[in-house]
Amino acid sequence: MRSILNRRLIRSIPTTIVLLVIAIILTPRPVVPAQEDTSVITIFLVRHAEKVQDGSADPALTGEGRERAVALADLLEDAGITAIHSTDFIRTRDTVVPLAERLELPVSIYDPRNLAVTAELLKRLPGRHVVSGHSNTTPELVRLLGGDPGQPFVEAGENDRLYIVTLLPDGGVETVTLRFGERFRPE
């Protein structure tokens, strides 16, 4: 009797294994969303919004400038911004304050006289950054990041240019230039 049971058990092992493998294969697995590649760094760079022409060294934004700052916040509010940077001037800080307040992020200050250090820091900080600068510093920072700054700013009032510089894991750099808010029309 014992030998008959042993033979049946031995014959049923391959069938049991096959059924177990089929059960494992057919068992639904939870869908795991793909992880975003954290080695990609995206930097949004803007020149400060329109400033008051009062002759001071540190003018505030005009009404139009405040509207442009809100337009920037509207545009980037859902862009996954992780850090906001500005030079230490009223006009540059106030350009990013509406976005910083919406996202509850601090505005970190960088030195526009030391753009090479700022570029190296941005290259090492993962995430999505917004950088507010000036007509002379913003294109230079784009260049130091490896991007293409395009044509020089029209000093008289071109405040609608937005650079998007993407630093890729393979060392490549992509640059996209957009316009936001009311469009600048040179005379």
Give the domain ranges of the chain.
Answer: 41-179
User: DSSP characters for 115-129?
Assistant: HHHHHHHHHHS-EEE
Instruction: Give residue 19's pLDDT.
Output: 44
Residue 14: what pLDDT? 54
pLDDT in tens, 67-110: 999 999 999 999 999 999 999 999 999 999 999 999 999 999 99
Residue 59 has pLDDT above 60, yes or no: yes
User: What pLDDT shows up at residue 39?
Assistant: 85
At 152, is the pLDDT very low, low, confident or very high (cuts 50, 70, 90)?
A: confident
Mean pLDDT of 35-41: 69
Q: Name the residue with higher pLDDT: 124 or 186.
A: 124
pLDDT of residue 130: 98
Q: Which CATH architecture has domain 41-179?
A: 3-Layer(aba) Sandwich (3.40)
Mode of pairing for the β-strands spanning 83-86 and 127-133: parallel
Direct distance between the N- and C-terminal alpha carbons of the chain, in angstroms, rounded to an integer:
105
- The whole-angstrom separation of Cα 123 and Cα 107 is 18
Q: For residues 138 and 47, is the Cβ–Cβ distance under 8 A?
A: yes
Looking at residues 33-44, what average pLDDT do you find? 72
| Mean pLDDT (the chain, rounded) | 85
Answer whether 0.75 is exceeded by the pTM.
yes
